[in-house]
Structures are given as C-alpha cells and as structure tokens.
Amino acid sequence: MGALKRATVPAFAKVNLGLEVLGVRADGDHELRTIFQSVALHDDVALVVGPGDGLELRCDAPGVPTDERNLAWRAAADLLRFTGLRRRVRIGLTKRIPAAGGLGGGSSNAAAVLFALDRLLGTGLGPAGLVPLARRLGADVAYFLFGGTALGVARGDEIYPLARQVDAWLTLCFPPTGASTAAVFRRIDAGLTPRENAPTIFRFVSSDLTAGAYRLLVNDLEAAALEEVPELEAQVVRIRGVLRSRGAWGTLLSGSGSTYFGVFETAVAARDAARELGRAGFRATSCRTVTGGRYRRAWERALTGEGRRAR
C-alpha cells in the first residue's frame, strides 16, 4: 500500500427516547431495554491511513485523553489487530458533543472509526461484521454502527433498527451538574428508587411515534439520577417547565444524564425553547433527529469520492 487514504466522518450524538432497567445479568451488567435516537449534533472524526506502523490521535477538546484511554484509539487498535494489517493510522477528533452528557460521544467516535477504517483498509466487514468488535469496546458502540431510531436490548448492545424512524426536532439542555453513572445504577440495584416497571418502550415502538406516544416514555435512570443529585433535580424541574410550556411532546433525561431534552414537532418550537433556556441561564441547543437512512448516507458521502476530494 503506497498512497495515503483519508476520510472525515460525522460521529452523531444519540439520546435515549426511553430506557428500562430490567435487572442485573449473570455477568454483572444490567439488562436494559432502550430506544436510541441519533441527532444532528456531531463530532468529526478524520482518519488518515498510510504505509508504516503506529497509531496517533489528536483532539481539539481539552480533557479528552489522546491515548489508549480514548475509545476511538482503541477502536482503531482493535480493528488493526483483528485484520492483522500493518498500517500507520492518524485520527483527528473535532469535538462538539459535550463530554459525559449521556449523548454517547466517545462510543460514537469509536463506531465512526470502525466503519471508516474498515473501508479505508478495504477489509469489507461492514457494520454487521463490525458488531462483535463494537460490543467489546462498550455497550453503546454497536448502536452507533447503524444509527437512526433503534431498539437496544440485552446490555443495550443488541440492536434492532426500527422500521418506523422518528423525524422530529429536539431541544438539548446541558445542566452544569450531573450524577455519576455508577452511582445511579447503585441506587437502582439497592432499590433506593422505585421504578415504574411498565412496558412503555414496546408500547412506544408499536405506536405512530407522534405526539401522544412520547408521553409514554420513561427513563428508569432519571428518578435515580435526580435523587442522587438534588441540585440536578432542581435544575431539571426548571428545564422541564420551559420545555413543556413550549409544547414539547415529551421530555426526558438522556441515559444517566445530565443532558435533558424535549421532543418537538417543528424546528421553530425547538429553537425557541432553546433560546428561552438560554435566557434562563442554561446551555441549550436545538437540532433535528437523524433517521437511519440519513445516517448511512452521511457516512457513505464521507467515504466516496466527493467527501474525500473535498479535504
């Protein structure tokens, strides 16, 4: 292999449109049922592959590790090891997804690396063939190989893209405080926070995915996260108030937080809610959901002539 090969791939964030904790598995992980939803907010993952050896990662966000602690780094190392190929790989991350916000930034970066590197190396595993590698990297990584609206079961890593894809607008709000994911699960395991135990996600999946359907959704981690950090609870009460008064179809914590979001029918309503939250002193933004089809097309564009010639 002589020439350099390169691509820059968008790594979209996700929210959980609902999350049920069903129990603890024999392996100690939690048995989950969740609906993942991609959103337009994204990082950029640039890859350059050339002859030689060695892995290098740069990131524009302070505080994000640039060595083997970075999931994108580990994704590249794992794929190279799996294929047995010797290549020099450089990764550049441009971060926009807030860190540790329940939006899956690191996992999304890792999936984008697996997808793009597989194509640049010519190994041809494709998203389905990359799933085993993704699952070993982390519970959310497998989802990000497919994107769009998808049901996640088992550890949240067994993925079923839904036939009906959500097309809506979200207001994402980033409260300054958050609960640690481990502490939230400890509260749930200890039964400190009662949960609803209703099959809301299956009812949502078989609904028309509009208006009333979002009122069904529950995140079992939300009550536990809010009880764990009373300061967060006070902030969420204010955020939820704004989102509801602006006509949100539903409001929820994403994952274990701390991103709190509202689902809206129109871009204008989502944008106005974000502005009002800004005036109230919160960091907030609005963006469209990304269907599985748009997710795949964005990745394809990045890997075909157009995307690569542009850089």
Interface residues with ligand ATP (CB under 6 A)?
A: 64-65, 70-72, 93, 99-107, 109, 140, 181, 255
Smaller CB distance to ligand ATP: residue 48 or 100? 100
Q: From CA 152, how far away is CA 34, in angstroms rounded? A: 5
1 vs 64, beta carbon nearer ligand ATP: 64
Minimum CB–partner distance for residue 30 and ligand ATP (Å) = 13
Contact 70, 28 (CB under 8 A): no
Nearer to ligand ATP, 105 or 269 (CB): 105
User: Shortest distance, CB of residue 99 to ligand ATP, whole angstroms?
Assistant: 4
Whether the upstream peptide bond of residue 108 has omega within 30° of 0, thus cis, is: no
Burial of 165 (0-12, 13-18, 19+ CB in 10 A): buried
- How far is Cα 95 from Cα 97, in angstroms, rounded to an integer? 6
Minimum CB separation of residue 108 from ligand ATP in Å reads: 8
Q: How far is the CB of 178 from ligand ATP (least distance, A)?
A: 8
Task: Determine contact, residues 238/245, Cβ cutoff 8 Å.
Answer: no
Please report the beta strands in the chain, taking only residues with DSSP state E, as ranges in sequence order.
5-24, 30-50, 55-59, 88-94, 149-153, 158-161, 169-174, 250-253, 260-264, 283-290
Catalogue the active-site residues: 14, 140
The smaller minimum CB distance to ligand ATP, of residues 15 and 269, is found at 15
CA atoms within 13 A on the CB side of 256: 21
CA distance 237 to 130: 41
Residue with Cβ nearer ligand ATP (106 or 127): 106
- Spatial separation of the C-alpha atoms in residues 174 and 282, rounded to whole Å: 7
In the complex, minimum distance from the CB of residue 259 to ligand ATP, in angstroms, rounded to a whole number: 8
